[in-house]
Structure 1
Amino acid sequence: MNNFREMWGARFFDYMREFQKYMQYIFTGHLAIVLVFTIGAGGYAYSEWLKEVSVDFPAAILTALVISGALVYSPPVTLLKPADIVFFLPLETQLPHYLGKALKWSTFSQIPLPLVLYIVALPLLSATETATGAVLLWLAVFIVVLKWLFVETEFSVHYARAGVGVWTDRLIRFVIATVFIYLWLSPYLYLILIPAVVMGIYMAYWRKQKMQKPFPYDHFITLEQNRMMRFYRFANYFTDVPHLKGAISRRRWLGFMMQSPTFGRTKSQQFLIRRTFFRTDDIFWLWVRLTVIAMFGTYFISIPIALLIFVGALAFASSIQLIYALRSGDEFRMDMLFPEPPIARRSAIQQTVRGVQWIQALFIMMIGLFAFGWSMTVVMLFLIIIIVSEFTIRSTKEKE
């Protein structure tokens, strides 16, 4: 290709095709059900809480902290590849055109999260009488502007220092954004020029630093590779991803869960599947994350019906994703040479998922005892996890 504009267009087309290819596996009916129930339970609990919230509740500072947290993480999406370090050199004078389009896409793709959080915060701001309609409308505009500035600034930091100190930069921008949003929602509106001027000076400083450095191809290529690997790891929970090379950890501290094989008495498939679960990082930490989220929800959601829906949705997500993850790589495996019936692997997967879901149910029941004491809610929490998990295990179809 003769210029970077054509290069960006081709790269972006390939990226979106790859992205959509895996998203169609991620947002299947299973995940849609989980999202509907989780959002519904969270929305119901939030609306019930808003009915009782005090006017003195610090809604302004809470909104500022949450939205600022979403704003400051602004990594540039460049779509660079390892070969670019050589093939981009003849056209390096046109590199700003390519990077300009990359930063526009970075801003556009990252705006939805802070805006969604802001929309969620609007009922709270209204219930506590924090601000009027005009102030809230302008704040939405400022959120978009701040996101654009933060993407530009984080890009300049990566450019100037190859990523060194990027978390310090994010902390500084977090403080600036928090103060800016809080002052806009507070009675001290006239002080808002202070964080605005500080942000302008800070951005100008890093832009000047960037101009004195050559473009760090290696750093931005590594950033892009790491970003895509995070997406592939997430997609791998739902379908096989050829690009992914999973990490394996022995985890000695879980040795008691993996008994040593006994000649003539060990079920080989169950032995292998259990070790696959405990020693494959992606699969094991997926289950841990979902279990921890369910435990936090159990402790903080005080409305029983909302909690049951929330925990049931996560139990479904845990079961379905573990089953798919443990089935991955069914085309050919060395254990296919074992003299065991084909149904042995399916049975081993079901038993393993069933066992870890019982462990999840016990953990959540213990948290429920702290939150609710001995009550029917705790019993229902345990039962809903077991029932949903068992239904998912039995109803999930084999891969064709």
Structure 2
Amino acid sequence: MKQLFKKRLANHLTEMMKYLRLVFNDYFVLALVFLIGGLGYYYSNALKQLHSGIWWAPLLTIGVLLIGIQLGRFATLVQDPDYVFLLPQESEMVYYLRSAYRYSLVLACVTQVIIWIVLMPFVQVTLLATTSDLFYLLASILLLKAIWLNADFARKYRVKSRWVANRFLFRFLLPLAIFTISFYFEYWVGSLLTFLIILFSTVNSWRWGIRPLDWRTMIDDENNRMHTVYQFFNLFTDVPSLNGSVRRRRYLDWLLRRIRLIPENTYLYLYAHGILRDHEMGGLYFRLTVIGTLFLVFIKGEMLPIALCLIFLYLIGFQMIPFYFHFDDNAFVHIYPVTNDHQMKNFQRVLLIMLCAVATIFAIAVIAINYTNVVTIIGVIVGELLEVLAFIYLYVPRRIQRGQRSRNI
């Protein structure tokens, strides 16, 4: 079973590397460098203006840690057919799951250490935490994550005491209690309590292997985890294994009724309905818009808000380009008396409306936060206008032509 997990892990990492190469392309890496550098500069300047004794500092830190501890789930890498083919070896699956647990714990701990490093200066400045306090906090975070994964481990088995697999208890209530004790009482007390709990949880976990597996729950959990991973990759590239869904959104009918039903608007009708009703594409557009707006609401400066606006506008527009080919596999569209010129113009029109809506939201957010900075206000308006026009009428046609050549090979 250990060899089976190693083989699946190798295949899984190969697949992840394939998508990561597409995600971290030259453009995105460049945008990421500017984004991290800008946020780091803003963070360092903000720390200089803070002082100890701020009442909301521990509340904010607890909130960030609670969100951060949710990152990193139990990766079992099980598949749907395992319920049939591995059922005769169910008693050996405990060794498979322990290997999966160790892999998941290493990844989760790396993530938690990064979050701790980012928060460390803020905690030192606002809460006057000593070096030993910070390491006690780190121990609490890592042990809480181990407890979190232990609860997920127990969830894979049909244990008698269902509270040991209670997600709400170990994901939210216990971390909230430990962090509250650490920040409002003593850091070492929180660390000691988490150590005692993980000790009890680890000893108790040795008895789970003798119980029957809950195959359906285990497979559903892994499918949900991979669906989340594929959704992230789908922000940057097409993921064939991600099945889309269509939803009827009646509250948006007032937008669609404005399309004139004439032959020249055939693809305009298809693209507008498709993007609004497609769960993946519509959700992608909405999520990126919300994330970009939240960044802009908390960023204040002269050039950084402008750069963030342009970066997020580019990312949103770039993710919409593959939808141009969405209807190519539908045989009926090829019998329409519509030329490719009409298709391109209709797609550009849909993109223009979508990006103008996003640009307006971003501009309002930037102006509301930086209303005293004339350079920022003018820069964001002019920059967004130039980028939208250049992206739609210069970049998109070339990108689509390149995509058509690659599809014809």
- Find the residue that maps to 1:17 and give its secondary structure: helix
Tell me the CA shift for residue 50 of structure 1. 1.2
Q: How does 1:220-239 map to 2 (within 5 A)?
A: 220-239=218-237
Q: Which segment is superposed worse, 53-62 or 251-260?
A: 53-62
Q: Which segment is superposed worse, 379-388 or 269-278?
A: 379-388
Query: Structure 1 residues 142, 170: closer, same or farther in 2, change over 3 A?
Result: closer
Q: C-alpha separation between the residues in 1 aligned to 2:178 and 2:156?
A: 20
Q: C-alpha separation between the residues in 2 aligned to 1:166 and 1:158?
A: 12
Tell me the CA shift for residue 367 of structure 1. 3.5
The normalised TM-score by structure 2 is 0.84
Counting matched residue pairs gives 394
2:246 equivalent in structure 1: 248
Tell me the CA shift for residue 142 of structure 1. 4.5
Q: C-alpha separation between the residues in 2 aligned to 1:202 and 1:347?
A: 65
Give the gaps of 5 or more residues in structure 2: none
Query: Structure 1 residues 128, 217: closer, same or farther in 2, change over 3 A?
Result: same
Query: Structure 1 residues 154, 308: closer, same or farther in 2, change over 3 A?
Result: same
The normalised TM-score by structure 1 is 0.86
State the structure with bigger RCO (CA 8 A, min sep 6), 1 or 2. Answer: 1
1:51 corresponds to 2:48: yes
- Find the residue that maps to 2:78 and give its secondary structure: coil
2:152 equivalent in structure 1: 154
Query: Structure 1 residues 148, 164: closer, same or farther in 2, change over 3 A?
Result: closer
Q: How does 1:299-378 map to 2 (within 5 A)?
A: 299-328=297-326, 330=328, 334-373=332-371, 376=374, 377-378=376-377
Say whether the 8 Å CA contact 2:292–2:309 is kept in structure 1.
yes
Tell me the CA shift for residue 86 of structure 1. 1.9
Give the gaps of 5 or more residues in structure 1: none
Q: Which amino acid aligns with 1:348?
A: N
Tell me the CA shift for residue 56 of structure 1. 2.4
Tell me the CA shift for residue 8 of structure 1. 0.9
Q: C-alpha separation between the residues in 1 aligned to 2:238 and 2:323?
A: 8
Q: C-alpha separation between the residues in 1 aligned to 2:331 and 2:42?
A: 47
Pick the aligned partner of 1:110 from 99, 108, 111.
108
Q: How far does the alpha carbon of each residue in 1:308-344 deviate from its partner, in whole angstroms, 9 at most, with x for none?
A: 2222211111111112344456566532332322233
Query: Structure 1 residues 6, 157: closer, same or farther in 2, change over 3 A?
Result: closer
Tell me the CA shift for residue 158 of structure 1. 4.8
Query: Structure 1 residues 75, 33: closer, same or farther in 2, change over 3 A?
Result: same
- Find the residue that maps to 1:302 and give its secondary structure: coil
Q: Which amino acid aligns with 2:131?
A: G
Q: C-alpha separation between the residues in 2 aligned to 1:276 and 1:73?
A: 32
Say whether the 8 Å CA contact 2:105–2:146 is kept in structure 1.
yes
Q: Which amino acid aligns with 2:281?
A: I
Tell me the CA shift for residue 126 of structure 1. 3.7
1:27 corresponds to 2:28: no
Pick the aligned partner of 2:10 from 8, 13, 19.
13
2:395 equivalent in structure 1: 395
**Taking every aligned residue pair, what percent have the same amino acid on both sides?**
22
Q: Which amino acid aligns with 2:108?
A: Q
Q: Which amino acid aligns with 1:296?
A: L
- Find the residue that maps to 1:304 and give its secondary structure: coil
Say whether the 8 Å CA contact 1:111–1:144 is kept in structure 2.
yes
